[in-house]
Structure 1
């Protein structure tokens, strides 16, 4: 398991001698981590998509008939930890795609989607981007979906799409305002999409851009779901309330560097915060697994949100400790302390909803 938590195993953890995990770990150690600073400055390179495909990471959640890895929730979480610990930018591009494959497989099995990209996705031969979160901005900001003969027309501006220039297609969610339904569809990248660069200071290398979708027709056989907006919001709130594997991947990277410092006070910080984060990690994964086993997405969501808030506070503290340890009068661009500090800030704001933001601010106000 992640080195930072190696002496603090929790129920449901998987062994790192799992063959699939071993391959991913070797790639993270030899390719991702050594180039993380370069990737943050210059962007995730195009050949990394081919690497992820060769590793089986673009369809590890697909059925075995398509080359899927037949792994469970704990193993999948471990992969997220490994990738985010080594290179958060690469993880961010990959995680737009990876969870969608299982969703596509389920829809394909019931013949809900039969579009030409389905087999490419399930076989791990292309990378998907995600354009989903603007539904949270409805009615002020969202992609519109309007019905037409044989499908839907999507139009609007997506606030951010990670992996732009690497993805062959996007998973887009639009809202049909008249019925307040969310339409989620697979849309090939085309000339009807226009991207504008974003000057991001965190996850700068994730190739995240703002994308305008101009009246793109999506046939019914490329539509994954049409669901009530209220249902979408319940699922989104519950999912966004969780402390996720990448939070602990970022934490592992920071704890490892603190432990390796020559300043004994920095080592003390790692020694104090490692068991605290281990407990939070165990709680987050236990609550998530319980919700999944019960089939209740909103199970103990307040407790899950409180755990996420606590993890965010812990990340802010340990990243600040690493900055203090390295600082004199400034931090050079090649110092990983500033990278980890920006990564910690990114996971604080990622997936933000008003209720999550309020919970974080309420904690700080106390």
Structure 2
């Protein structure tokens, strides 16, 4: 990948090599420590795409992608905790509601870390979380199946759906409070370290001033679709890390394939019309998965029996790769991936 000459890329490389990568196997077993979050906050990464007037870097998309690759390849758990933060920042930057002035600067400068609790709205017309107008604000009831970063995040972006099919996105503190109860941290096959819980909402009340977006589901889903058809930089980051465990005679052809898929995927990510070439984007997303799967499998094979130990980097990367297969998955992306797997069977 062509290195983007930007201070954030330099800072994140130093963070990755000096802090994250040396501790990745321990973090995988013990959990993302608060010290990692503090280091990410200090790096400036949390404002990578935020407006400069609010303390962000307003960096190009290529910078955001490269820093995501570096972080995910060094410690996927830390990457996944912090990647939640960027959607709330983007929503605030696009909003003209009062919450923008209250939260955008502390989120862009890294004073606060945000998490997200809205993937469940993709289940529409089912409504895992219902939003009801109440007392100059909104009452939220239901279950958030996944919330990452519990105990690490400062604020969270929650979403619910009204009876009329309108989505309501609003902020609240990321802590137990009246109407909001977390589960115990989940034990997962990969990324247990991210402190992922489910949330039970029973009459959680959020003021109108906490709302960052209200939109009909149909309108919101058009923009959301463009995010979930593109290949994730983390997939390339994990693949690169796995290739680093192989002899060059094995890694060479895989790296050539990886570079080509990444080049094409990122060219479409930068396309001026985000909802064009959707089929090609989905195809490249699937191809990126396949390169990652091959690279992590090769790393496990090369490691032999050592790959079965929990201290093995190859084994960790293989499990993280499995996680990325379903991260950000929608019915459409799942169907495209399954079709590609079925058509490629020997």
Match of 1:50 among 4, 14, 38: 38
Q: Deviations over 1:103-141 (max 9, x none)?
A: 21332xx34535754543244211111101001223445
Task: Give the Cα separation in 2 of the matches to 1:349 and 1:144.
Answer: 25
Counterpart pick for 1:285 among 266, 278, 287: 266
Cα RMSD of the aligned pairs, angstroms, is 1.8
Q: Distance in 1 between matches of 2:142 and 2:30?
A: 28
Q: Deviations over 1:199-223 (max 9, x none)?
A: 1011121111111122221222211
- Conservation of the 8 A alpha-carbon contact between 1:153 and 1:215: yes
Instruction: Assess if the C-alpha contact under 8 Å between 2:127 and 2:161 holds in 1.
Output: no
C-alpha spacing 1:344/1:114, structure 2 compared with 1 (3 Å)? closer
CA distance in 1 between counterparts of 2:103 and 2:60 reads 25
Distance in 1 (alpha carbons) for counterparts of 2:214 and 2:306: 54
Which 10-residue stretch deviates more, 154-163 or 96-105? 96-105
Q: 1:12-51 to 2 correspondence within 5 Å?
A: 14-15=4-5, 18-51=6-39
Matches within 5 A, 1:247-326: 247-259=235-247, 267-290=248-271, 293-294=272-273, 297-326=274-303
- 1:179 paired residue number: 164
Counterpart Cα distance in 1 of 2:249 and 2:129: 49
Of 86, 96, 106, the residue aligned with 1:120 is 106
Does the C-alpha gap of structure 1 residues 215 and 116 become closer, same or farther in structure 2, counting only changes over 3 Å?
farther
| 8 A contact 2:89–2:104 mirrored in 1 | no
Residues 57-68 of structure 1 aligned to structure 2 (within 5 Å) = 57-68=45-56
Q: Deviations over 1:251-279 (max 9, x none)?
A: 110111113xxxxxxx3331111011111
Counterparts of residues 1-366 of structure 1 (less than 5 Å): 5=1, 9=2, 14-15=4-5, 18-107=6-95, 110-113=96-99, 116-140=102-126, 142-176=128-162, 178-189=163-174, 190-192=176-178, 193-196=180-183, 197-259=185-247, 267-290=248-271, 293-294=272-273, 297-328=274-305, 331-366=308-343
The alpha carbon displacement at 1:24 in A equals: 1.3
Stretches of structure 2 that go unaligned for 5 or more consecutive residues are none
Secondary structure of the residue aligned to 1:227 is strand
TM-score by length of 1: 0.88
Q: Tell me if structure 1 keeps the 8 A contact 2:293–2:318.
A: yes
- Decide whether the 8 Å contact of 1:57 with 1:98 is kept in 2: no
Aligned-partner SS, 2:329: coil
- Measure how far apart 1:316 and its partner are: 1.2
Structure 2 CA distance for partners of 1:268 and 1:56, relative to 1, 3 Å: same
Q: Give structure 1 stretches of 5+ with no counterpart.
A: 260-266
Q: Deviations over 1:40-75 (max 9, x none)?
A: 111110122221121112223332233212311111
State the secondary structure of the residue aligned to 1:170.
strand
Q: Return closer, same or farther for 1:141/1:179 CA change in 2, 3 Å cut-off.
A: closer
What CA deviation, in whole Å up to 9, does each residue of 1:56-98 have, x standing for no partner? 1222333223321231111111111111111100000000003
